[in-house]
Amino acid sequence: MKIYDTPGFPNPLRIRIVLAEKGLASQVEFVPIDLPAAEHKQTAFLAKNPTGTVPVLELEDGTFLSECTAITEYLDNLDGNPTLTGKTPREKGVIHMMQKRAESELIDSIGIYFHHATPGLGARNEVYKSPDWSGRSEWGTMHRVKAEAGMRYFNEVLKAQPYVAGEHFSMADCTVLGGLLFARYADIPVPAECTALLEWKARVDQRPSVKNPA
């Protein structure tokens, strides 16, 4: 298998944690993609993933999987013992619900703010953004507010349970971790009153897969 990604970036981190959790890092060849140089927007990469985002997983038969949820589902189920995406119908339902919320309320909102209200990945990527309009920066800033509300939402969730989707670490936790990394890049601090979220972050940062992702 090959993973096309950029080390240290939020969405690649999600999959590298998954690989470490599942003990699969040794089975993967990592192919670096230069995001600041807009390599992900060029023809060769777009043939692998038309949406022009990382990471992308290439399987032995030449199949390309993009989207972190899809990649996680594949990797988590390779051994027949899913530990990150749920075993029972209830677990699967809750994890996928919280995974979607982690994306829409946190990491995606931060991404919109980062790419449209800040310099983002730099000048080489500017041409690939949506056509300029007078409200683009304001639209981006609105998503910063949404992301901060998302942090407060997950803070309330984590007051009642140890992990984002319940009693066990899951792909939803990976996504919130990626979101908080993205928030740091975008200079969006976690509100000081979000003590449960901050305590969760300190705790999961000690997991071997998070301390030493693939």
pLDDT at 74: 98
Assign residue 13 a region: left if phi > 0, alpha if psi is -120 to 50, beta otherwise? alpha
* Domain endpoint, select from 77, 97, 121: 77
Identify the residue whose tokens are 């000081």: 192
Q: Is residue 117 part of a domain?
A: yes
At 11, which CATH number? Answer: 3.40.30.10
pLDDT bucket at 137, cuts 50 / 70 / 90: confident
Per cent of the chain over pLDDT 70 is 94
Q: Is residue 152 part of a domain?
A: yes
pLDDT at 136: 64
Beta pairing partners, 64: 58
Q: Is residue 212 part of a domain?
A: no
Closest CA relative to residue 120, chosen from 154, 143, 101:
143
Containing structural domain, residue 199: 89-207
> C-alpha distances in angstroms, 152 versus 94, 157, 197?
19, 9, 8
Domain count, the chain: 2
Q: Which of 25-39, 89-103, 126-140, 179-193 has the lowest mean pLDDT?
A: 126-140
pLDDT at 85: 98
| Same domain membership, residue 179 and residue 138 | yes
Q: Is residue 167 part of a domain?
A: yes
In order, the DSSP letters of 31-98 are EE--TTTTGGGSHHHHTT-TT--S-EEE-TTS-EEESHHHHHHHHHHTTS--SSS-SSHHHHHHHHHH
pLDDT at 131: 55
User: Alpha-carbon distance 106 to 143, whole Å?
Assistant: 9
| Same domain membership, residue 63 and residue 133 | no
Is the sign of the CA dihedral 205, 208, 211, 214 positive or negative?
negative
Mean pLDDT value of segment 185-199: 97
| Same domain membership, residue 193 and residue 123 | yes
| Same domain membership, residue 48 and residue 26 | yes
Assign residue 130 a region: left if phi > 0, alpha if psi is -120 to 50, beta otherwise? beta
Indicate the pTM of the whole model: 0.93
pLDDT at 123: 66
> C-alpha distances in angstroms, 22 versus 7, 25, 41, 64?
19, 8, 30, 20
Per cent of the chain over pLDDT 90 is 85
* Domain endpoint, select from 36, 56, 77: 77
Whether the pLDDT of residue 52 is over 80: the answer is: yes
User: Alpha-carbon distance 101 to 175, whole Å?
Assistant: 10
**Average confidence score pLDDT of the chain:** 93
Whether the pLDDT of residue 127 is over 90: the answer is: no
Per residue in 69-108, pLDDT tens? 999 999 999 999 999 999 999 999 999 999 999 999 999 9
Is the pLDDT higher at 24 or at 119?
24
- Taking each helix axis from N to C terminus, what angle separates 136-160 and 171-185, rounded to the nearest 10 degrees? 140
| Same domain membership, residue 24 and residue 116 | no
* Domain endpoint, select from 77, 103, 135: 77
The bridge status of strand 29-32 relative to strand 2-5 is parallel
pLDDT at 210: 97
Helices vs. strands in the chain: H and E counts, helices first = 10, 4
Q: Which helix (H) or strand (E) holds 29?
A: strand 29-32
